A and B are shown apart, each in its own frame.
Chain A
Amino acid sequence: MDIDDILREVDPVSHQIPQETRDLQDLTRAWVAERSTPELLPWPSNGLFERINDKIKRQIEKVEEMTGDMDPKTNFALIVIQTELERFKYLVRSFLRTRIAKIDKHLLHYISNDNLRTRMSQIEEAYARRHQLLLHNHYLNSFLGTFPPAMQNLNDTAGNISMIDSPDLDSAVFIRLLKDAEIECHGVDVDGVLTGKEGDIVILRWSDAKGLVEKGDAELV
């Protein structure tokens, strides 16, 4: 083995971060981001959730195997694995529940727009469509059926106001800057330009912060 390889193993930093740790970091960041923004963020694109689901399934199988063992030495490892598994499952569950809450709040908005539809995963999109259908049929059966047919739509845009609720994109969010950046911000009385340094925590409108977060120059906190 080359001296470089040996040293790379010993020095934990220049050694590349392993895929599992990076997955955990990505999952955590996606969870925090999803919990903090008012609108639905795009589904993580690099196969993150498929990998995590696979790993969770395999870990559950491993736990079932080890439980049959009942050896005091492996018992402790079992407890650690189960604890970590519960933590992972909590993250995944909370992430998915947050997304469902956002989709439920603005069903028609996310289904009707093509760009926004791509933000959902396939299962979420199917869920949204079925939910919307059920809801509309329920309304029709309860009271909407008594309206004249011209008024039975739920996506009326007459009178310059759309019936479809969309999320408030100007809500305040807290971000942490990961690089020094200049951000143009809009306010009620003045518009300002913020010169932020790395590590700053700022309150902004989500519409101003969105570009930075997507580029990766800032993260939600």
Chain B
Amino acid sequence: MALPLPPGLTQNEVAFLAEMEMVTVVPRQRLDSIDLLGGKTPQLRPPHRAQLPLWLALLLKKQRRANIVPPAWMHPASLAEIIHRETKEDPEAFSPPPPPPSRALYSQPGTARRLNPSYLDDFTQPQQDSQQDPNSILSPPFLPSNVAESPAGYLPYHWLEVAEALLTHAGDDMPAPAGEVRSLLRDLVEVRAAKMRSSTSALEGFGDAYLTLRGVGAMELAENRSFLAGLVDGVRKIGASAEATRREEEEEARRGGDYGGDGDEDSDEDMGL
């Protein structure tokens, strides 16, 4: 049966996508590596930490077989810093996304390389990387942006979904009382929603070709997607005939300019005689 939804992911689908993010887990029981369709899970041996997808971590937490380590950006100090940056330092745009992750290069001690090598990098890649598919660039939810080692002070793409899931199911694992983290998150949600609304009001009479939303989160996009897309499409359809005439005029002007140049040359040659 055909899917009746309009184009664009719904909030439920975004939540499903966010459950694929990796988080750090401290197991309480031993568990052997399971052969899943998406690869093998790491072997769980307490008290060593392991990285698991969020859905599996939540399952283990519900059965009291593991504790989840919240990522560093969820700490109240980090959230307060992000709120400060959103309100005071940059009241127009969203706070920047986390920097691309880097690893130390084994073959060249002292050098670091990015997880997603860009063609602009002039590091000589070690042998195994040259065999890697250049098109396999990692992006959320497959970037390690919610594990314990993720940098603090940046909101990853799926921040709201992951934060809500961790607060609901793993509230006792938080570094601070869950109420405090929740209230900071509410503030952050409100600040960003206000920014989203003000950015849409700037779209009145939207005639530009594009709009950049650097740093926006997945759930915020999903909530405003239908409105924004509807707005842009509506303006486009209303202005369709105006746009068509504008393009014709530009085409004429270009062609008219060419003819004008030829005419001038002819007249100059005539004048020379």
Contacts and interface: CB of A to CB of B under 8 A. Distances in A.
A171 B5 CA distance: 16
B208 A192 contact: yes
Interface stretch (A108-116, A134-142, A157-165, A173-181): A173-181
A79 B216 contact: no
B259 interface: no
B225 to A, nearest CB: 7
B1 A97 contact: yes
A192 B207 CA distance: 10
Contacts of A208: 209-210
A176 B56 CA distance: 27
Contacts of A80: 34, 36, 41, 56, 59
A11 B106 contact: yes
Interface residues of B, number: 75
A202 B34 CA distance: 39
Nearest to A25: B142
Interface in A64-80: 76-77, 79-80
Interface string B111-146: 000011011100000101101110111110110000
Interface string A85-120: 101101000100110110010000000000000000
B103 interface: yes
25 contacts: A20-B36, A21-B38, A23-B38, A24-B38, A35-B8, A36-B8, A52-B37, A56-B37, A79-B59, A80-B34, A80-B36, A84-B36, A104-B2, A174-B8, A178-B116, A178-B137, A179-B137, A185-B210, A187-B206, A187-B207, A188-B236, A204-B210, A205-B209, A208-B209, A221-B221
At the interface, is chain B mostly helix, strand, loop or mixed? Answer: loop
A68 B104 CA distance: 47
B29 to A, nearest CB: 9
Contacts of B221: 174, 201, 221
Contacts of A76: 31, 63, 65
A202 B210 contact: yes
A35 B236 contact: no
A35 B152 CA distance: 32
A119 B131 CA distance: 29
B17 interface: yes
Given A16-B131, A21-B39, A101-B3, A172 B229 contact: yes
Contacts of A154: none
A129 interface: no
Nearest to A171: B233
A83 interface: yes
Q: Which 3 A-B pairs have the closest CB atoms?
A: A189-B207, A185-B209, A187-B209
Given A84-B38, A98-B3, A191-B209, A13 B142 contact: no
A110 B45 CA distance: 54
